[in-house]
Chains A and B, each alone.
Chain A
Amino acid sequence: MTTALEKTTAAKDRPVPGTPLLEVRDLHVEFKTRDGVAKAVNGVNYSVAAGETLAVLGESGSGKSVTAQTIMGILDMPPGRITSGEILFRGQDMLKMSGEERRKIRGRKIAMIFQDALSSLNPVLSVGYQLGEMFRVHQGLSKKEAKAKAIELMDRVRIPAAAQRVNDYPHQFSGGMRQRIMIAMALALEPDLIIADEPTTALDVTVQAQVMDLLAELQAEYHMGLILITHDLGVVADVADKIAVMYAGRIVETAPVHDLYANPAHPYTEGLLRSIPRLDQKGEELYAIKGLPPNLYKVPAGCAFNPRCDAATDLCRTESPALHQVTDRDGAELAGRKSACHFWKETLHG
């Protein structure tokens, strides 16, 4: 990497790895539409530290993206509405900041990578312009300086012949290259935190691995926090430090990645893990969680998962479970493990 980028890195007040970066507390978001009020996020709690990767898992519609958009401050309002909660970024509640303060965090401190790079890049502006814009707006660089920076960034994410391609438009790149450009854009100002919303879903399998590796590598290099939203449990095992599982707009389980894989504390997580195809189970029929994801306009009373849960009891149908601290058989707290199930003990130890 060239000296120019290193200098900015040194000048920045980077959080020490391991210190808390972002903490989402009891976030609630709903959408008012013609069909009624959709409770998309119903009490999300998660946190990321500098240098840490948090994977957010969950079925389609479970509120992963809405949470991420709320953190970024790019939620469509209306129809969206944040009804309660806090989003602490380095100790400060971003929901209480002014629009201008938040804008200065976006892109500079927290950046986002979107799923579909083709539609997320502006079709009528060159990639060089779109990358350079970050430097021009946030650092006041000239057009020429910004372009040099853009080329540097494209090199950094290993786009071949960056200097020649800097004036090309998004549609002239392949899917993988476009996603690299998205990554470069997020990386441009070396933010403290990157939120990647399904960054590889739209790509071919072989390209997926390359892009994921690049992202993990850059994250390690810059000691950034990373929130990785995905459906893909395989990717999670490789790169994440901890996992938050979402269901119907709630975190139902959080745990360090290996603990969760080895021994889930929530029936929904159990079902998810059983539904991954595994080499040693070849030939057996793949498990699928019965039933459909809940209707967000009418979330079931009690535990939202109860209509689909094999272990559900009457308690589950009336009382919503709290997010319990998980303990081992001797009652000692397991660090970072929580579960929103009345019967987490039975699930974990049973």
Chain B
Amino acid sequence: MGRYVARRLLQMIPVFLGTVTIIFFMTRMLPGDPAAAMWGDKAADPAQLAAFKHQMGLDVSKWQQYLNYMGDLFTGDFGTTMGGRKVTDVIGEAFPVTIQLALLAFAFELVVGVAIGLFAGLRRGKAFDKSTLVLTLLLISIPVPVLGFIFQNVFAIQLGWVKPTVQAQHMTFDQLILPAVVLGSISLAYVARLTRTSIAENLKADYMRTAVAKGLPRRKVIGTHLLRNSMIPVVTFLGTDLGALMGGAIVTEGIFNVQGVGNALYHAIGRSEGATVSGFVVVLVLVFLFASLLVDLLYAVLDPRIRYA
């Protein structure tokens, strides 16, 4: 197992470098002159502009900038924003918010999704199962912006259960509930459907018959024997999804005014802030890579037939 992890980590290095390279050139090809934009509508003083560009490291060729950037990256220096702030500071501010949001969404889709999927799978073909299939399909089809406005309107504005948006200054955990529900809802639909299919399939397995024949109570037959086997495909999805949830809930954060990664990225892209955009994406790619490693390891824990050498 240890050797497998080591090998996977080694394999991650070229993929990581490659992704960062692609991201670097994608962001630095953004047109317009972000440095000149600092002066707003006024024409910038050429000398001052040149000095600013030099200070930002923008006065050398793209390739040189790339080498500098990669070199700095390994010392933990993600560069600075046009406004002069360290990108790591901006990241350090936005990520905790998004991590809270993503974990909350993740917990929501995991608990509710698996529960719905379990009940639907156990009652395959019954009314609950059929309505689950229809409702999850509808949920998948409703685009997130629309879903966000519907939820905001119904639960916050009409029913008044929660605040419609998050207070930027003193954000509290309960303000994140509604955005988390919106963020996790599409994945929840997939988790429910996957769990349902998996449960219904494993229900027919021979070992389930054995478990009943052993005289186990239903709670144990389902909890120990059925659920454990059925979670294997669901874990794969959840693993990739954790990365995706973090990957900037751009729309959700926008609608609910959550000052997280999605919002920061959206504004950075709009202002053509190359260093900020690539800094965020670098962290996201790392999260994504580690999440997929974690899934593979979890897989081996859940299914002893899988052995990593």
**A103-B215, A107-B215 are known contacts. Are A123 and B229 too (CB-CB below 8 A)?**
yes
Cβ-neighbour of B207 out of A111, A121, A137 (below 8 A) = A121
Cβ-neighbour of A124 out of B211, B217, B304 (below 8 A) = B304
Kindly state whether residue B302 has any CB partner on chain A within 8 Å. Answer: yes
Q: Residue of A at shortest CB range from B211?
A: A122
Q: Mask for B199-212, Cβ within 8 A of A = 1, else 0?
A: 00000011101111
Number of residues of chain B lying within 8 A (CB) of chain A = 21
Give A92-108 interface residues, CB cut-off 8 Å to B: 103-108
Cβ-neighbour of B213 out of A72, A104, A137 (below 8 A) = A72
Kindly state whether residue B214 has any CB partner on chain A within 8 Å. Answer: yes
Q: Residue of B at shortest CB range from A118?
A: B206
Kindly state whether residue A3 has any CB partner on chain B within 8 Å. Answer: no
**Would B305 and A169 count as touching, CB distance under 8 A?**
yes
Kindly state whether residue B267 has any CB partner on chain A within 8 Å. Answer: no
Kindly state whether residue B77 has any CB partner on chain A within 8 Å. Answer: no
| CA distance in complex: A104, B215 (Å) | 6
**Would B228 and A137 count as touching, CB distance under 8 A?**
no
Kindly state whether residue A138 has any CB partner on chain B within 8 Å. Answer: yes
Kindly state whether residue A253 has any CB partner on chain B within 8 Å. Answer: no
**Would A112 and B215 count as touching, CB distance under 8 A?**
no
**Would B214 and A124 count as touching, CB distance under 8 A?**
no
| CA distance in complex: A111, B213 (Å) | 7
Give A104-151 interface residues, CB cut-off 8 Å to B: 104-108, 111-112, 114, 116, 119-126, 133-134, 137-138
Kindly state whether residue B154 has any CB partner on chain A within 8 Å. Answer: no
If over half of A's interface residues share one DSSP class (helix, strand or loop), that class is named, otherwise mixed; here it is: mixed
Kindly state whether residue B225 has any CB partner on chain A within 8 Å. Answer: yes
Residues of the B chain whose Cβ atoms lie less than 8 Å from the Cβ of A122: 207, 210-211, 225, 228-229
A231 to chain B, nearest CB (A): 19
Kindly state whether residue A185 has any CB partner on chain B within 8 Å. Answer: yes
**Would A138 and B302 count as touching, CB distance under 8 A?**
no
| CA distance in complex: A108, B213 (Å) | 10
Cβ-neighbour of B210 out of A120, A124, A138 (below 8 A) = A120
Residues of the B chain whose Cβ atoms lie less than 8 Å from the Cβ of A107: 213-216
Give B211-244 interface residues, CB cut-off 8 Å to A: 211-217, 220, 224-225, 228-229
Max count, chain B CB within 10 A of own CB: residue among A114, A120, A121, A169: A120
**Would B206 and A138 count as touching, CB distance under 8 A?**
no
**Would A106 and B228 count as touching, CB distance under 8 A?**
no
| CA distance in complex: A74, B305 (Å) | 27
Kindly state whether residue B303 has any CB partner on chain A within 8 Å. Answer: yes
| CA distance in complex: A119, B208 (Å) | 10
Residues of the B chain whose Cβ atoms lie less than 8 Å from the Cβ of A185: 210, 214
A103 to chain B, nearest CB (A): 5
**A119-B205, A169-B304 are known contacts. Are A125 and B213 too (CB-CB below 8 A)?**
no
Residues of the A chain whose Cβ atoms lie less than 8 Å from the Cβ of B205: 119
Cβ-neighbour of A119 out of B206, B212, B217, B303 (below 8 A) = B206
Residues of the A chain whose Cβ atoms lie less than 8 Å from the Cβ of B303: 123-124
**Would A134 and B206 count as touching, CB distance under 8 A?**
no
**A116-B206, A119-B206, A122-B229 are known contacts. Are A106 and B305 too (CB-CB below 8 A)?**
no
A112 to chain B, nearest CB (A): 5
Kindly state whether residue A324 has any CB partner on chain B within 8 Å. Answer: no
**Would A114 and B210 count as touching, CB distance under 8 A?**
yes
Residues of the A chain whose Cβ atoms lie less than 8 Å from the Cβ of B305: 123-124, 169, 171
Q: Residue of A at shortest CB range from B216?
A: A137
**Would B206 and A105 count as touching, CB distance under 8 A?**
no
Nearest 6 A/B pairs, CB to CB: A107-B215, A106-B215, A119-B206, A122-B207, A107-B214, A169-B304
Report 29 cross-chain contacts, Cβ distance below 8 Å, ordered by A residue: A74-B209, A74-B212, A74-B213, A103-B215, A103-B216, A106-B213, A107-B215, A112-B210, A112-B213, A114-B209, A116-B206, A119-B205, A119-B206, A120-B207, A121-B210, A122-B210, A122-B228, A122-B229, A123-B207, A123-B303, A123-B304, A124-B303, A124-B304, A133-B220, A133-B224, A137-B217, A169-B304, A169-B305, A185-B210
